[in-house]
A and B are shown apart, each in its own frame.
Chain A
């Protein structure tokens, strides 16, 4: 039996075969690996997005905590930021004393990351109650002030002459520059 295939059919068959092989090779060698890669990358991206959302939520919560902390402690934060001013202190607290003299502050050794200035004070008060009022007022003043020993009360006629030292605490601008800058925002 003789199979009679025309030359045209042979061309057709060979081109079809060639193209079929090309399609199969292209699909298996290029498309399927690419598709797998796409699926893996899509999963990874979803995972990364989920993690990023968690991070953002955590960051938002931390930011809220920070904001609350700042608003609750605004006075304290500002008090640590402000430099001590003798005139302003005298103006604020002279009402508690008959006379109030403050000598220039001197820098002491840093304490717990805070800069400490010592201020010597001599004053005259009419009664101890004035001094108690002063101590109450100091806790509400514009600075963080620690009334320090020794405290000397001496009778001076009808008045009481008192002398004591105060420690004023400020932010250490070198050590806490980052924190200070962000706090000041």
Chain B
């Protein structure tokens, strides 16, 4: 037997209001989570980028050290070679000047160029020619000049001229 003439409507715990509220909160929470995931992902990429930058910087620093050391070494090579080239050129000029210094009438048989001196062996028609034409300029160049003569077969004189520059005196003059 029926107690009512109408059919009972179905009752549900999830009413329309609750559905609406759930939809609203679902969207809100979803947006919050999406933002959170975005921030977390960005944090991760920033950390990775930062690591890459650090590694690259370390590599550049290493490379820079190597390049700086190369530059300083090449500069050193350049400076050192220039010194040697200059020394060789000065030597060439010195030898040229030495041979220009010897007058036509005096003949050299041997010349020894030392670090701080010059030894000449030769033959001169007489002592005066040697004294005025060779010894005088040698005296003006070197600090100490010693000469010794011994007669040659043809009446000329063989001579040995020993000339030295004192390094200490050079230093005194510089000071």
* Residue ranges of A at the interface with B (Cβ–Cβ < 8 Å): 8, 11-12, 15-16, 19, 22-23, 26-27, 30-31, 34-35, 37-38, 41-42, 44-45, 48-49, 51-52, 55-56, 58-59, 62-63, 65-66, 69-70, 73, 76-77, 79-80, 112-114, 128, 131-132, 135-136, 138-139, 144-147, 149-155, 169, 176, 178-179, 182-183
Contacts and interface: CB of A to CB of B under 8 A. Distances in A.
Contacts of A79: 81
A153 B110 contact: yes
A45 B45 CA distance: 10
B60 A55 contact: yes
Given A12-B21, A150-B114, 16 more contacts: A12-B17, A16-B25, A41-B43, A45-B53, A52-B53, A52-B60, A55-B60, A62-B71, A135-B92, A138-B88, A139-B89, A146-B87, A150-B115, A155-B110, A179-B70, A179-B74
Chain B, interface residues (CB within 8 Å), range = 35 or more
Interface stretch (B1-9, B32-40, B140-148, B150-158): B32-40
Contacts of A38: 39, 42-43, 46
Contacts of A178: 66, 69
Most chain B CB inside 10 Å of its own CB: which residue of A26, A56, A62, A114: A62
A154 B111 CA distance: 6
Given A59-B64, A154-B109, A183 B73 contact: yes
20 contacts: A11-B13, A12-B18, A15-B21, A16-B21, A38-B43, A41-B42, A52-B56, A55-B60, A55-B64, A69-B71, A77-B77, A135-B89, A135-B91, A139-B88, A139-B89, A147-B87, A151-B91, A179-B70, A182-B67, A183-B73
A69 B32 contact: no
Interface in B54-72: 54, 56-57, 60-61, 63-64, 66-71
Contact of A144 (B36, B71, B84, B99): B84
B167 interface: no
Contacts of A80: 77, 81
Interface of B: 13, 15, 17-18, 21, 25, 28-29, 32, 35-36, 39-40, 42-43, 46-47, 49-50, 53-54, 56-57, 60-61, 63-64, 66-71, 73-78, 80-81, 84-85, 87-89, 91-92, 95-96, 99, 108-115
